[in-house]
Amino acid sequence: MAKLHVHTTVNGEAAEFLCEPHETLLAALRNELGLTGTKEGCATGDCGACSILLDGRLVPSCLVLAAESQDRAVTTIEGLALGDALHPLQRKFLEHAALQCGICTPGFIVAAKALLDRQPEPTEQEARFWLAGNLCRCTGYDKIIRAVLDTAAEMRKTAV
């Protein structure tokens, strides 16, 4: 079967690629578009390392077909910083040392952004349950949650 030619928008820019019908969006992002920031941890949607936003919605890209991104907007970890300026989540993760090996970090940051887009004042409980779909084996989640809550507080302060 011939490959599919997909036109999509990734991190605000038009993108296109060829893919097999059964290829996942995760594989297309990494292998066709060279965006390796999104990681494969399990390929079954259980670990969150492949978290991206599809039209603003948090999804595991290992469970989305590449073809499904046709005419939609994809946001990956590579799209969060604004030029030289890191997204506040990225800054806070660094400040709080909320990463050790860092493999889960892109997924967590994208997932946390999805949380703060919807809920600018999350409680610790809300943050923990929202992020329950992202596995981390290194940190015990403590500093991650602190970073997310601290980001929320800072963003509320600077919001007009």
Partner 1 sequence: MSDRTFTYVGTRPVRHDGMDKVTGRANYGADFSLPGMLHGVVVRSPHAHARIVSIDTHEAEAVPGVLAVVTARDIPETRAKLMLGEGALDLRDISENLLARTKVLYHGHTVAAVAATTLDAAREGAARVKVTYEVLEPVMTIEQALAANAPILHSDMITKGQHGAKAPSNVAARMELKRGDVGNGFTQADVVVEREFRTPTVHQGYIEPHACVARWGEDGRAFVWCSTQGPFAVRDQCAAVLGMDAAQVKVIPSEIGGGFGGKIVVYLEPLAVALSRKARRPVKMVMGREEVFRATGPTSGTRIRMKLGATRDGTFVAADASLYYEAGAYRGSPAGAGMMCLVAPYRIPNFVIEAFDVVVNKPKVAAYRAPGSPTASFAIESVIDELARELRLDPIDLRLKNAVVEGDAAPFGPAYGPIGLKALLEAARRHPHWKTPLAANQGRGVACGFWFNAGMNSSATVTLNMDGSAAVVTGNPDIGGTRAAQALMVSEELGIPVERIRPGVGDTDSSGYTDVTGGSRVCYATGMAVIGAAQDVREQLRARAAKIWNVDVASVTWEKGHAVPPKGAEKAEPLSVNDLAAKMTHTGGPIVGRASLYAPMAGPGFGAHICDLEVDPETGRSRVVRYTAFQDVGKAVHPSFVEGQIQGGAAQGIGWALNEEYVFDKNGVMENAGFLDYRMPVASDLPMIETVLIEVANPLHPYGVRGVGEVPIVPPLAAVANAMRDATGIRFTELPLSPPRVLAALNHEPTPVRTSDELSAVKADS
**Binding residues for partner 1 (CB under 8 A):** 20, 30, 35-44, 46-47, 49, 76-78, 80-81, 86, 90, 93-97, 99-106, 109, 124-125, 127-129, 131-146
Residues sharing a CB contact under 8 Å with residue 9, sequence separation 6 or more, in sequence order: 15, 72, 73, 74
Q: Which is nearer to partner 1, 69 or 90 (CB)?
A: 90
**Pair of tokens at residue 6:** 């997909």
Minimum Å gap between C-beta 160 and partner 1 is 26
Q: Which is nearer to partner 1, 37 or 73 (CB)?
A: 37
Minimum Å gap between C-beta 157 and partner 1 is 21
Q: Which is nearer to partner 1, 40 or 68 (CB)?
A: 40
Minimum Å gap between C-beta 55 and partner 1 is 20
Minimum Å gap between C-beta 74 and partner 1 is 14
**From CA 147, how far away is CA 155, in angstroms rounded?**
12
Minimum Å gap between C-beta 146 and partner 1 is 8
If one counts every other C-beta atom within 10 angstroms of the C-beta of residue 29, the result is 27
Q: Which is nearer to partner 1, 71 or 95 (CB)?
A: 95
Backbone angles phi, psi at 140, to 5 degrees: 70, 10
Residue 116 DSSP code: H
Q: Which is nearer to partner 1, 12 or 102 (CB)?
A: 102
Among 111, 98, 103, smallest CA distance to 140 is for 98
Contact 6, 19 (CB under 8 A): yes
